[in-house]
Structures are given as structure tokens and as C-alpha cells.
């Protein structure tokens, strides 16, 4: 027991001495500041309601025939310190014809069938650039209710009867 106790004291003394030897003077010191930004939780809610029309194969041959109207209700839009903001509606490249600028409704039941060429209807407040995207400029409103009619474009001479779909992405953007 005596040897164990003496060994314990010797080990403790060695550890204390080695710790003191490692804690030398500071040769160089530089202070600095790190920063981070904490923003409020976004409470943006975007609700979409599609109001499709029923049209004939003869009607779609004419440009300007309304196919559907997309109702967009957005709440909690906070531009904060942003210079501006918008609500954008976009179609992906698989539903866009870059040659004609047409947005493409496709019939999922008839793969390879002729797509229905469409375009967003020009209205005040909407900016159509690039062609696969249309954006509504916000004027500091926290909540907006807007409509985007989508109508036939040119070139729908071979469209067959059926159910047509076109996925869209709606986003709130600030800059």
C-alpha cells in the first residue's frame, strides 16, 4: 500500500511538471472578429390553383385561346433589405421549345404525340424573359393574389384530342 501511494504521488508530480513545461509564454498574438448573419424564418407560402379550360382540336389551331389560368396566392413575402423581388413561373427544358419559344403541354397517355404549344398571356406587371420564365414584379406587398392565363401559341395544327399536362415551378425571388 505504501508503494502504491508513493507511486501515485510521483506520477502526479510528473504530470504537473510536464503540464507546466508545455504552457509557455505566448510569442505572438493576433485578435480578430468573426461574424455571422441571422435572418428571420421565412414565412412565405405559395398556393397554386389551376383553372383549366376545355377546348377543341379546332380551337387550339388559333393563337390566343385560353387553355388554363394559374391562380397564385402568396403570403409572407418579406423583401426586407432586398432591392426588389418577384414571383416567377418557369417551365423546364423538357416542356419548352427554344425554336418557337413555346411552352409545351404534353399528353402523358400518348408518348411521342404532338405537344400543345402554349405561351403565357401578356399582362401588365409580368416580365417574360427568358422565354421559359415569366415573372411578376413585387412592389413591397406582403401578400399577392395574381393570375397567369396560359394560351395557345402558333403551330398547333396536328394536336390530337386528349389530356395535356405541363409542370411549372413557381418561386419567390429577391435581389
CATH number of the domain that residue 71 is part of = 2.60.40.1570
Asked if residue 20 is part of any domain, the answer here is no
94-105, pLDDT tens digit by residue? 999 999 999 999
Q: Which of 35, 27, 69, 66 is nearest to 50 (CA)?
A: 69
The pLDDT of residue 159 is above 90: yes
56-112, pLDDT tens digit by residue? 999 999 999 999 999 999 999 988 888 889 999 999 999 999 999 999 999 999 988
128-155, pLDDT tens digit by residue? 889 999 999 998 888 999 999 999 999 9
Asked if residue 19 is part of any domain, the answer here is no
Asked if residue 16 is part of any domain, the answer here is no
Asked if residue 122 is part of any domain, the answer here is yes
Asked if residue 155 is part of any domain, the answer here is yes
Residue 35 has a pLDDT of 62
The pLDDT of residue 114 is above 70: yes
The pLDDT of residue 8 is above 50: no
Asked if residue 34 is part of any domain, the answer here is no
Domain range for 120 is 45-174
Asked if residue 17 is part of any domain, the answer here is no
Please give the tally of structural domains in the chain: 1
Share of the chain above pLDDT 90, in %: 62
Q: What is the pTM for the complete model shown? A: 0.74
The pLDDT of residue 6 is above 60: no
Q: How far is CA 2 from CA 5, 8, 9, 13, 71, in A?
A: 5, 10, 11, 17, 88
Asked if residue 83 is part of any domain, the answer here is yes
What is the overall mean pLDDT for the chain? 85
Amino acid at each position: 500500500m505504501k508503494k502504491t501511494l508513493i507511486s501515485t504521488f510521483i506520477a502526479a508530480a510528473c504530470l504537473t511538471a510536464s503540464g507546466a513545461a508545455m504552457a509557455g509564454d505566448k510569442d505572438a498574438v493576433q485578435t480578430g472578429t468573426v461574424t455571422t448573419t441571422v435572418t428571420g424564418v421565412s414565412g412565405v407560402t405559395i398556393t397554386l390553383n389551376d383553372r383549366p379550360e376545355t377546348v377543341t382540336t379546332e380551337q387550339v389551331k388559333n393563337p390566343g385561346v385560353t387553355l388554363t389560368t394559374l391562380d397564385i396566392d402568396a403570403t409572407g413575402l418579406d423583401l426586407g433589405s432586398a432591392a426588389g423581388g418577384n414571383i416567377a413561373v418557369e417551365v423546364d427544358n423538357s416542356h419548352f421549345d427554344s425554336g418557337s419559344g413555346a411552352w409545351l403541354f404534353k399528353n402523358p397517355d400518348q408518348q411521342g404525340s404532338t405537344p400543345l404549344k402554349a405561351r403565357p398571356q401578356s399582362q401588365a406587371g409580368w416580365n417574360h424573359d427568358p422565354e421559359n420564365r415569366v415573372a411578376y414584379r413585387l412592389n413591397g406587398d406582403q401578400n399577392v393574389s395574381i393570375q397567369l392565363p396560359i394560351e395557345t401559341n402558333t403551330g398547333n395544327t396536328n394536336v390530337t384530342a386528349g389530356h395535356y399536362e405541363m409542370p411549372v415551378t413557381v418561386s419567390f425571388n429577391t435581389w
